[in-house]
Amino acid sequence: QPLYQYEKISILLLQGKYDEAHDRMLKLKNDLDFVTDKQLEDKAASLWHGEQNKVFKGDPYERSTLHAFLALSFLRKGDPESALSCVKSGLLFDADTEKGAYASDYALLYFIGAMCHQRLGNFQEAMRFQKEAIRSLSARQVKVGTAPDGQPIVSGTCFDPFLKDCNTVLVLWAGTPPTMIQQGEYKEDRQIVGGTMTLDS
């Protein structure tokens, strides 16, 4: 059901039905926050193999993405406080990875958090969130362009969310998402394999 709802929300956003998507995101967030049974989730993940077969709340990056979209939706509605709450929840879900290798590295959430703090007048916190966003992007060494001398420009080296006349955020999804694989005799060892990104600016 959650995976179906994620798809439905994506379609509503593509259709420009932002209020309907917002309401559905809120309902899904509440469902995921309050209907929790870790034992049953682990059992379900061990029984069903493949994203299309399992019925559960989503992996950490899926839950983090829901919170990122909901934060953007709250910003669109002029409510940076609720947006910041979503950012913090999303970062907590992102930190809840089994291996720790990808814990709290969701650059978009930090970037949105910086904008929220800026709009709330918390400029020190805004700068802290901006630094975390840059750290996260730089750690991945994602190429965003080429310098005149032919050297690659790495993400995190050339953006500033605090441009005074900036009133638009463009979120571009490209490449392939992470994939969860299961190994071991009983498929007990779950690992995230990072997606690929071939697009640059």
Residue with the two structure tokens 């999804």: 173
- Residue 23 · residue 32 · CB < 8 Å: no
Identify the pLDDT of residue 25.
Answer: 95
C-alpha to C-alpha distance for 157 and 167, rounded to whole angstroms: 21
Cα 189 from Cα 184, distance rounded (Å): 6
| pLDDT above 70 coverage of the chain, percent | 65
b/e map of 73-97 (b: 16 or more CB within 10 Å)? Answer: bbbeeebbebbbbbbebbbebbeeb
pLDDT tens for each residue of 85-107? 999 989 887 765 555 555 557 88
**What are the tens digits of pLDDT across the range 28-61?**
988 877 655 556 555 655 555 554 444 455 677 7
Query: Which of 124, 132, 58 lies closest to 88, judged by CA?
Result: 132
Residue 117 makes CB contacts below 8 A (sequence gap 6+) with 84, 123, 125, 126, 129
Q: Is the pTM of this model over 0.75?
A: no
Radius of gyration of the chain (CA): 18
Residue 154, classed as helix, strand or coil, is: strand
CB within 8 Å of 111: residues ≥ 6 apart: 129, 130, 133, 161
Q: Determine the pLDDT at residue 75.
A: 93
| pLDDT recorded at residue 3 | 79
Query: Could you tell me which residue, 43 or 122, shows the higher pLDDT?
Result: 122
